[in-house]
C-alpha cells in the first residue's frame, strides 16, 4: 500500500479558481479589536443581530477542534455538508470536461450537485455486500479528468461502513480528490478516517450537525482536510456563509456535548431493538445491519408495506427503485414511542 504523500493537488484545481482573488469583506480586512466599527455599512442600533457574523467562524471551530482533535486550520464550515459538496465540485471540476465518480446505491446529492455544475458522473456500483469495487474504480478512473471520488461511509441508504483498508487503499491510489462522507459516523462502531487528513493531500472528510447533533434545521456541515484544500474552500465560499443564529446555536450545543452523547446512546439502543423487532416479522426478507441511524429492510412487497404505513400516518423512505436495493424500505430510527407505533402497525398488517 506504499505510495502517495507526494500528490500535487495544484494539477487538479480549475485555473479560474487558482487565479481568483476572493471577495474581501470588511470583516476580512480588519480583524482586530476596536471601539467604533463604521466599515461595513451595518445598522449601529443593537438588535442582537445587527453585525455581520464572523466569516471564518473561529469560536465555533475552536470548540469543534477540541472535540474532534483536529486543528482549527483543518476545519471548513458550510451551510450543510451540501455546501461543501457543491464547493468541491466548483473548485476541482471543469464543467463539460471533468467528471466525478460515485458508487451507487448512495446519497443523491453528489449526482444533483454535479448535474447543476454540468459535470459528468461516472458510476461504479457497490459490490453485492455494499463495498467499493476497488479494481473497477481504479480501472474506470481517468487521470486528470475524474476529479472527485465520493465514498459515503456509513453509506446512505445501505447503512453499512466501508472497509477501512479499502478506503485507505483508494485514498492512496486514486489520482483525484477522495471525499469520505461521514454524516453518520457518530452512530458507527467503525472509527472515523479523520486522522488521515494530514497524511493525504487529496482527502476530504465530511461530517454534519444534521444527524447525531440533532441540528438539521440550522444547516451546518463540516469538512476536514489539509490546509491547502481548506483554504480553497474558504476562498470560494460566500463571505458570510454561516449566519449568526447558526453559529450561536452551534456554540451552545457544542458546550453541551453530554446531550448529544445521550441522543446517540438512545438511538443505538433503539436501533438494536428495531433490528430484532423487524427481523421477527413474517414478511421481512432481510434486515441489513446498520452502522447509522436508519435501517435498510427488504420486504416481500415493499409498496404494500409503504402504503399501509402511510395510511396509518407512519412515513418511511421507499428505496425499492434504487439499484441493489430491490424491495427495500429505509427506516429511520425514531424515539422509543415512534418505533413502537411503527412495529405495532406492521404486526397488525399480517
Ligand atoms: C444527511 C446526509 C448529509 C447531511 O447533509 P447536510 O447538508 O449537512 O444536512 C450528508 N451526507 C449524507 C450521506 C447524508 O445522508
- Tell how strand 221-225 and strand 75-78 pair up: antiparallel
What are the domain boundaries of the chain? Answer: 9-253, 258-349
Phi and psi (nearest 5°) for 152? -105, 110
Distance CA 133, CA 127 (A): 6
What pTM was computed for the model? 0.97
**Residue-level pLDDT, tens digit, the chain, 350 residues:** 456 656 889 999 999 999 999 888 888 888 888 999 999 999 999 999 999 999 999 999 999 999 999 999 999 999 999 999 999 999 999 999 999 999 999 999 999 999 999 999 999 999 999 999 999 999 999 999 999 999 999 999 999 999 999 999 999 999 999 999 999 999 999 999 999 999 999 999 999 999 999 999 999 999 999 999 999 999 999 999 999 999 999 999 999 999 999 999 999 999 999 999 999 999 999 999 999 999 999 999 999 999 999 999 999 999 999 999 999 999 999 999 999 999 999 999 86
pLDDT recorded at residue 3: 60
For residue 38, the CA-to-ligand 1 centroid distance in Å is 39
Question: 182: Cβ below 6 Å to ligand 1?
Answer: no
Unique residue bearing C-alpha cell 472497509: 163
* For ligand 1, mutation pick of 183, 207, 246, 290 (most atoms within 8 Å of CB): 183
What distance in Å separates the CA atoms of residue 37 and residue 34, rounded to the nearest whole number? Answer: 7
* Whole-number Å distance between alpha carbons of 168 and 177: 13
- Take residue 114 and report the three cell numbers written for it: 454535479
CATH topology of domain 258-349: 3.90.1150
Task: State how far the Cα of 236 lies from the Cα of 20, in Å rounded to an integer.
Answer: 8
What would the CATH number be for the domain defined by 9-253? Answer: 3.40.640.10
Give the single-character DSSP code of 209.
S
DSSP code string of 222-240? EEEE-HHHHHHHHHHS-TT
From the CA of 156, how far away is ligand 1's center (Å)? Answer: 9
Query: DSSP character for 274?
Result: H
| Phi-psi group of 69: left, alpha or beta (phi > 0 → left; psi -120 to 50 → alpha; rest → beta) | left
How many A from CA of 183 to the centre of ligand 1?
Answer: 6
Q: Are 274 and 295 in contact (CB under 8 A)?
A: yes
| Cα(182) to centroid(ligand 1), Å | 9
Strand order in the sheet with 146-152: 75-78, 221-225, 203-208, 177-181, 146-152, 99-102, 120-123
* Cα–Cα distance for residue pair 41/201, rounded to 1 Å: 39
Best of 156, 291, 296 to mutate for ligand 1, by most ligand atoms within 8 A of CB?
156
Residues, the chain, total?
Answer: 350
Residue 86 Cβ contacting ligand 1 at under 6 Å: no
Q: Taking Cα atoms as reference points, which of 287, 288, 295 lies closest to residue 268? A: 295
d(CA 29, CA 25): 6
d(CA 52, CA 80): 19
- Burial, 128: exposed, middle or buried (Cβ in 10 Å; 0-12, 13-18, 19+)? exposed
Q: Is the CB of 154 within 6 Å of ligand 1?
A: no
CA distance 54 to 68: 21
pLDDT of residue 29: 83
Residues 63, 68, 73, CA angle at the centre, nearest 5°?
70
Residue 26 has a pLDDT of 83
Name the residue of 82, 106, 242 whose CB sits within 8 Å of the most ligand 1 atoms, as the mutation to test its pocket.
82
What is the per-residue pLDDT for 5?
A: 53
Q: Is 160 in the pocket of ligand 1 (CB under 6 A)?
A: no
Residue 221 Cβ < 6 Å to ligand 1: yes
User: Mutation test of ligand 1: which of 76, 81, 224 has the most ligand atoms closer than 8 Å to its C-beta?
Assistant: 81
Amino acid at each position: 500500500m506504499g505510495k502517495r504523500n507526494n500528490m500535487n493537488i495544484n494539477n487538479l484545481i480549475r485555473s479560474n479558481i487558482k487565479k481568483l482573488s476572493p471577495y474581501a469583506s470588511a470583516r476580512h480586512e480588519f480583524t482586530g479589536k476596536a471601539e467604533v466599527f463604521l466599515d461595513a455599512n451595518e445598522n449601529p442600533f443593537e438588535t442582537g443581530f445587527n453585525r455581520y457574523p464572523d466569516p471564518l467562524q473561529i469560536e465555533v471551530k475552536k470548540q469543534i477542534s477540541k472535540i474532534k482533535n483536529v486543528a482549527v486550520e483543518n476545519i471548513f464550515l458550510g451551510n450543510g455538508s451540501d455546501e461543501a459538496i457543491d464547493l468541491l465540485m466548483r473548485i476541482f471540476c471543469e464543467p463539460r470536461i471533468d467528471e466525478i465518480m460515485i458508487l451507487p446505491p448512495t446519497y443523491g446529492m453528489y449526482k444533483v450537485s454535479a448535474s447543476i455544475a454540468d459535470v459528468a458522473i461516472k458510476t461504479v456500483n457497490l459490490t453485492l455486500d455494499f463495498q467499493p469495487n476497488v479494481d473497477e474504480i481504479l480501472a474506470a478512473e481517468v487521470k486528470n479528468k475524474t476529479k472527485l471520488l465520493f465514498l459515503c461511509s456509513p453509506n446512505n441508504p445501505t447503512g453499512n461502513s466501508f472497509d477501512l483498508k479499502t478506503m485507505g487503499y483508494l485514498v492512496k491510489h486514486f489520482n483525484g480528490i477522495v471525499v469520505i462522507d461521514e454524516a453518520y459516523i457518530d452512530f458507527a462502531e467503525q472509527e472515523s478516517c479523520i486522522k488521515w487528513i494530514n497524511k493525504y493531500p487529496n482527502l476530504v472528510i465530511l461530517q454534519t450537525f444534521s444527524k447525531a447533533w440533532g441540528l438539521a434545521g440550522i444547516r451546518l456541515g463540516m469538512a476536514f482536510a489539509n490546509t491547502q484544500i481548506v483554504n480553497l474552500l474558504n476562498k470560494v465560499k460566500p463571505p458570510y456563509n454561516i449566519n449568526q443564529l447558526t453559529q450561536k446555536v452551534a456554540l451552545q450545543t457544542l458546550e453541551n456535548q453530554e446531550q448529544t452523547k445521550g441522543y446517540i446512546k438512545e438511538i443505538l439502543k433503539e436501533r438494536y431493538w428495531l433490528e430484532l423487532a423487524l427481523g421477527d416479522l413474517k414478511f421481512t426478507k432481510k434486515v441489513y445491519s446498520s452502522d447509522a441511524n436508519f435501517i435498510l429492510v427488504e420486504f416481500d412487497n415493499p409498496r404494500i408495506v409503504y402504503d399501509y404505513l402511510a395510511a396509518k400516518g407512519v412515513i418511511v423512505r421507499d428505496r425499492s427503485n434504487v439499484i441493489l436495493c430491490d424491495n427495500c424500505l429505509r427506516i429511520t430510527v425514531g424515539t422509543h414511542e415512534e418505533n413502537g407505533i411503527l412495529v405495532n402497525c406492521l404486526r397488525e398488517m399480517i
